[in-house]
Each structure stands twice: as C-alpha cells, then as structure tokens.
Structure 1
Amino acid sequence: MDNALGCLSRRNVLIASAGTAAMSAADAAGPAVSAAPDAARTPPPADLPPHIGRVTLRINGQPHTVEVDTRTTLLDLLREQLQLTGTKKGCDHGQCGACTVLMDGRRINSCLMLAVMAEGTQVTTIEGLGTPAQLHPLQAAFVKHDGYQCGYCTPGQICSAVGMLDELKRGMPSHVSPDLAVKPLLSADELRERMSGNLCRCGAYSNIAEAITEVAGGAA
C-alpha cells in the first residue's frame, strides 16, 4: 500500500485526471461526434454550374425554358440566345429606350433587367405585336406617318407607345398631369413626358407623335 501511494506523485495524479476527463467528454459527445460526418457531408452536385441559371418564361406567347449565365441581361437573352433581334441594344444603360419590351403588360428597359429575374413572366417584343400580314395599329401608324428614319429606335418606340397607351387607358398620371383625380388625356405635354424615355437620334419626333396620336384617337 505504501509503495502504491508512493507512486502517486502530483504529476501522475494530474495526468490520470486529465485522461479520465477526456474519456468522459468523448463519451458524452459520442452521438454528436458520430453524426458530425453526416452533417458536414456536402450536398450532391447540382445539375448546373453555380453561375448558370434556368429560366422559364413566355415570350410572344411561346413558352421557353433556357439556361443562361446569371449575369446575362434580358436583352442579351432575347438577342443572343433566342434570336429576337428586333429589340435593339443602344446605350445599354437604360437611357435611350431602344431595348424597351413589355413584361406582363408593362414597358421595361430590357438592358437593365437580368434574365434570371424574368422567371415566370410574359414578355412581348416587337416581333410579338404584329405580323407583316397583320400589323399592330401602332406599327401601321408608324409606317403611315413615316415615324422612323434609320429605324433603330423604332421597336423600342412602338413597344413603349403600346405600354404608354395602356397606362393612359388605366388612368395612370404622369409628372405633368394637372389633376391626379381626373383621367389624363393624351395632350402634347403628356405625350412628350410619357415618351421621354425613348430617344430618336434622327429626330423624327413629330412623325412619331402623329402616329401615336392617331392610334390614341386624341389630338396632341
């Protein structure tokens, strides 16, 4: 007994105590430690790379499911992947309106929207407004009033005008509407304000105004 007690130096007692504590901690954490590999297991690889998204939407009434780089704009999706080149790329900064399309009936600058943001929407481009055999009324009016010269801004002008006339129909005011409680009319001031986001480098504004006014049935 004396010999056994003599072997129990302070150093040996501390080593034994530390070993016992470690074994107790391991026993207490047993289930969690065994579950750790499952919790840390990486998910199965996705079917697409991280920078690629899959988008489902309707364009000009036709369903499309496309895989696109998440950095791609709606404009580039339309032009580069779907070959709908009627929509033009002008400034690519949302300042000229050449890329205007209709999304769920509302006009937008497609150069400012990522394609992946258009999930589940309905997009109408200039190709979806009419056909050569049956033009949209605004398309026919632009031809009649020579509302274009080089024609580069024309698709955006027409799509924007379609959206603008719908806004008027629904009574949406503009910054120049004199009375917010009265349904706005297509006056000269209203027309200039509502179409101010669409630029024509050729300066065919008077002819564009005449075409839109004829379709609106008003006098600007």
Structure 2
Amino acid sequence: MADRVPLDFDPPVRQIRALLLGVDDRDLTAPTPCPGWPVATLLDHLMGLASAFTMAARKRDGAGGPPPEPSAEHLSRHWRSRLPVVLADLATAWKDPHAWTGTARAGGVTMPATAMGAVAMTELVMHGWDLARATGQDYAADPRALEVLVEFLAQGPADGTPGLFGPRVPVAPEEELLAQALGMAGRDPSWRRPRHPTPSRHPVRE
C-alpha cells in the first residue's frame, strides 16, 4: 500500500529503531544538534511526536492543544520497548490513503493532510539525524523522501518556523540532498558531538 501514498514512513522508522539499539544509557545526557536538548529529551520528543502524528493520520487529535515541552525528566526507563512500538504505529497509520485526504490536526494545529504528512516525515528524518549525530552513529536517509522534503522545506520562510524549524543554515547547492534538507530545517550538517559531553542534571525517571 505504501506505493499508493505520497511518502513511505517505513524507511525512517526502521532507521530510528536501528539507531535506538546503539544508544547507551551514558548517551542520555549527551548533547544533540537541538540546542539545550540532551539525548533523553530528544527521545521524549520522538515519543510524543510519534503519538501525535499517528493520531493525526487517523483523524484524531487526542490532546486538542499544543503538546507539553519535551523533557528528559519525562522519559520513562521503558523507552527502549515503548518507542519502537509507537514508531511502528506511526508508519502503519500513514500507509492508509485516507490519512492523506482532507485535513489533519496535531498539537492544536490543523493543516492539509498532505502537509501534515510532510511535516511528520521531516520530523522523523531530522530527529533521526540528530540522534545519530548525538550518539556517534551513521545515518542514511531515504533519497525518495529527501526529494520531497527538500521541495517542502524550500517553501518555508528563510528565517524558520517557530516551534518547528530554525533559521536556514547556508548549504552549497552541490551538497547532497540530506545536507540541503538539514540546512533548510535550520541545522548545521557539519555538527558533531563534543568529545567530552557535559553531563545533564536532569534525571531519567520511571
């Protein structure tokens, strides 16, 4: 059914699930390309966005308003078993052609379903790259998805979209599609994790 919808969520979901296997408990306090977010906060955000975009695909908006700010303190010790499941649910939900029709609502925002699907895919690809960079793992995005994302991100304002993307980072036009997408989403493609990450004071709780 994936070939009947604009975007296939299976590749980025598989990529993130594979990356999760390489996350050590010591990585949870390491910084990520998202300013002020350690890995634990990024994982909490992935948990929340996966649930929100799954409900959007199914034409439901459970919270009805903006989601809570992601926090390392909110991340359960059970994230290793829960996050792969909610990511798989997300991929399944967007395989339904009905998910791409009409409008969709997530976090209190309503937009055309095709745009919502593009935002969801962008979030997965960008945060998959964030996780890979923060934990010293390789990352390779699906070229077909990147072509759509570059076209989608190019339509946004150069100074960024509050709550979604930061101001664009200049990237040479000859750079690969992933680097172009990262720059358009406000990320520096050359970001690398510090050699000695600074420990976070935020604990991970049950």
More contact order relative to length (CA 8 Å, sep ≥ 6): 2
Q: Smaller-chain TM-score range?
A: under 0.3
- TM-score, with structure 1 as normaliser: 0.22
- Asked which structure has the greater CA Rg, the reply is 1
- TM-score, with structure 2 as normaliser: 0.23
Greater share of helix: 2
